[in-house]
Amino acid sequence: MPTRRDFVAQSVLAAAAIPRWKPTSIRSLYGAMSSGDGAPDDESYWQEIQRAFDLDRSIINLNNGGCSPAPTMVLEQMIRDVRFSNELPVQHMWQVLEPRVEAVRRELAIEFGCDPEEMAITRNASESNETVIFGTDMKAGDEAIITTLNYPRMQNAWRQRELRDGVVVKRLKLPTPIPSDDVFVKAFADAITPRTKVIEIMHLSFQTGYVAPVRKIMELVRGKGITVLVDGAHAFAHFPMSRDELGADFYGTSLHKWLMAPIGTGFLYVRRNRVKDTWPLLACTYPTEQDDIRKYEQIGTHPAANHNAIAVALTFNRGIGQDRKTARLRFLRDRWAKRLVAYSPRVKMITSLEPGAAGALAVVTIEGMDIGKLQGWLWGKHQIMTTPLVGDEFQGLRVTPNVYTMTQEIDRFSDAMEMAIKVGVA
Ligand SMILES: Cc1ncc(COP(=O)(O)O)c(C=O)c1O
């Protein structure tokens, strides 16, 4: 966990590199330093963190998992670069700003624990994951294994490979919640055949909050020539992790979720020895770019402002520190979830509340309650934004607070939920 000195040093460096930070943002970072140690329940510290965001505080946003607001300093750099680009795009955007993506690559690589030559900057997890889904050579009859709860856009991509290439996609239906890692790993082990070429797993399930045992899946496929794509859309910058802990060869994530980077940012990690044989979605220059991680960034004209501001989001996150951030997120989750579980036997958590498990993303179901109506009631009557999950396999309300969420906001949500359980939402 960073010390106070680290925090000050990083903030000074960042402030020096980004001369036009909004003064209030800088004050918030320094305010956070002087207001406490940043323990999960240290409201004076987190009060300062929330001041780094220019948000409408008359609403309570508990859907940061879908897409998070960025701190003001991130937004400010992006807007500054958009204006600068617009003055003379061919020079300012292409010649001045675009090359700075290399600093973003370097810093993201440090964060994930890989080489910069393995780190492609993309626009979101969908682009990253579909690069691997479409970029892996598979013949008709070759098999991919996913679960029925994998992210729908990735499922669409697999369906397209089925329709177009005759690939066979096995969709595992696992119990919700998944009882243990062993059950998860065994389901994949049982589905593997000599034709299996790809397994796609979510690092953190967007529907249940389950954190998959990535390393165990990597061990399962060792020596079998199977590519494992880890969909990390919800995991990166949510809880501590590194490439080496995971052992992953491919990892796709969005950065506009838990890193709080500008909307339309993500990364694709590809292990160095897999770059050459994994096709980009959009063609690169052959043969010179074939073995270059930048081949996944040949997407035509696009704003440099968005991806360059990832560097500021990294600075902001490092200022808090991943361990401290994760501890706060789990504290906020436990505060509402444990209260509601104690309140009524109708409340059932789909997400594990074991110490150290998962993060802020937690899903609750209330026996006998229509989750769609509950979500509409929370928003319409209480201006509390949550996510309804209503599918064939289960129903649940997804709640994703963030670092700017205050405990009184969590308590207002819990009050409203207790009222809903008591008197209904009709
Ligand atoms: C597990 C998972 N994968 C992929 C995505 C797609 O993310 P994006 O829309 O940022 O590409 C999401 C979005 O919520 C997700 O939860």
* 243 pLDDT tier (thresholds 50, 70, 90): very high
* 12 pLDDT tier (thresholds 50, 70, 90): very low
- Residue nearest to ligand 1 atom 10, measured at CA: 124
Residue 233: CB within 6 Å of ligand 1?
yes
Q: Which of 201, 254, 400 for a ligand 1 pocket mutation test, highest count of atoms within 8 Å of Cβ?
A: 254
**What is the pLDDT, as a whole number, of residue 426?**
84
| Beta strands 395-399 and 387-390, pairing class | antiparallel
Tell me the CA–centroid distance for residue 126 and ligand 1, in Å.
Answer: 6
- Which phi-psi region, left, alpha or beta, contains residue 298 (left: φ > 0; alpha: ψ -120 to 50)? beta
Listed residue (158, 161, 131) closest to 295, CA to CA: 131
Average pLDDT over residues 156-180: 97
Q: Does position 18 have pLDDT exceeding 50, yes or no?
A: no
Instruction: Report how far apart, in Å, the C-alpha atoms of 351 and of each of 61, 357, 368 are.
Output: 20, 9, 19
Residue 400: CB within 6 Å of ligand 1?
no
**What is the pLDDT, as a whole number, of residue 13?**
42
Residue 254: CB within 6 Å of ligand 1?
yes
Average pLDDT over residues 311-339: 97
Residue 112: CB within 6 Å of ligand 1?
no
Q: What is the DSSP string of 97-150?
A: IGGGHHHHHHHHHHHHTS-GGGEEEES-HHHHHHHHHHHS---TT-EEEEETTS
**What is the pLDDT, as a whole number, of residue 6?**
46
Tell me the CA–centroid distance for residue 133 and ligand 1, in Å.
Answer: 14
Tell me the CA–centroid distance for residue 268 and ligand 1, in Å.
Answer: 13
For the chain, the structural domain boundaries read 92-313, 324-423
Could you tell me the maximum CA-CA distance found in the chain, to the nearest angstrom?
Answer: 67
**What is the pLDDT, as a whole number, of residue 347?**
98
Residue 53: CB within 6 Å of ligand 1?
no
CA distance 256 to 121: 13
Instruction: Report how far apart, in Å, the C-alpha atoms of 383 and of each of 166, 197, 212, 376, 412 are.
Output: 47, 46, 33, 9, 10
CA distance 328 to 1: 13
CA distance 131 to 55: 34
Residue 147: CB within 6 Å of ligand 1?
no
Average pLDDT over residues 346-363: 93
- Ligand 1 atom closest to the Cα of residue 124 is 11
Tell me the CA–centroid distance for residue 325 and ligand 1, in Å.
Answer: 21
Average pLDDT over residues 155-172: 98
Q: Does position 19 have pLDDT exceeding 50, yes or no?
A: no
For the purposes of burial, counting CB atoms within 10 Å of the CB of 257, is it exposed (0-12), middle (13-18) or buried (19 or more)?
buried
Per residue in 173-197, pLDDT (tens digit) is: 999 999 999 999 999 999 999 999 9
Q: Does position 15 have pLDDT exceeding 50, yes or no?
A: no
Predicted TM-score (pTM) above 0.85: yes
Residue 231: CB within 6 Å of ligand 1?
yes
Average pLDDT over residues 69-76: 98
Q: Which of 30-39, 115-124, 235-244, 247-256 has the lowest mean pLDDT?
A: 30-39
Kindly report the CATH class assigned to 92-313: alpha beta
Per residue in 86-104, pLDDT (tens digit) is: 999 999 999 999 999 999 9
**What is the pLDDT, as a whole number, of residue 228?**
98
**What is the pLDDT, as a whole number, of residue 21?**
44
Tell me the CA–centroid distance for residue 416 and ligand 1, in Å.
Answer: 28
Mapped onto helix, strand or coil, the DSSP state of residue 389 is strand
Q: Does position 398 have pLDDT exceeding 90, yes or no?
A: yes
- Ligand 1 atom closest to the Cα of residue 257 is 10
**What is the pLDDT, as a whole number, of residue 31?**
58
Q: Does position 286 have pLDDT exceeding 80, yes or no?
A: yes
* 28 pLDDT tier (thresholds 50, 70, 90): low
* Domain 324-423 CATH (choose: 3.90.1150.10, 3.30.160.20, 2.60.120.650, 3.30.450.20): 3.90.1150.10
